[in-house]
Amino acid sequence: MPQPEDTRNMHAYRGLGLDPGLAATGFAVIGCLQHGGNLCDWGAITTRPGTASEKRLQDIYRNVHELIDQWRPDVIAIEDVYVLKTYPRAAIQLGEVKGVIALAAAETKVEFTQVKPAEIKRALTGNGRAPKQQVHDAVQRSLGLRHAVNPDHASDAAAVAMVALSRTGRYSW
Q: Which helix (H) or strand (E) holds 92?
A: helix 88-107
Please state, as a whole number, how many other Cβ atoms lie within 10 Å of the Cβ of residue 140.
17
Look up 152 and say whether it is catalytic: no
**Beta partners for 25?**
45
Structural contact between residues 154 and 4, judged by C-beta atoms closer than 8 angstroms: no
Q: Which residues have C-beta within 8 Å of that of residue 82, sequence separation ≥ 6?
A: 116, 117
- Residue 5, classified by CB atoms within 10 Å of its CB into exposed (0-12), middle (13-18) or buried (19+), is exposed
Rounded-to-integer distance, Cα 146 and Cα 25, Å: 24
Helix (H, G, I), strand (E, B) or coil at 72: coil
Look up 79 and say whether it is catalytic: yes
Question: Cα 3 to chain center, whole Å?
Answer: 18
The residue annotated as part of the active site, out of 19, 41, 74, 156, is 19
The residue annotated as part of the active site, out of 11, 41, 74, 153, is 153
The residue annotated as part of the active site, out of 11, 41, 74, 79, is 79
Positions marked catalytic: 19, 79, 153
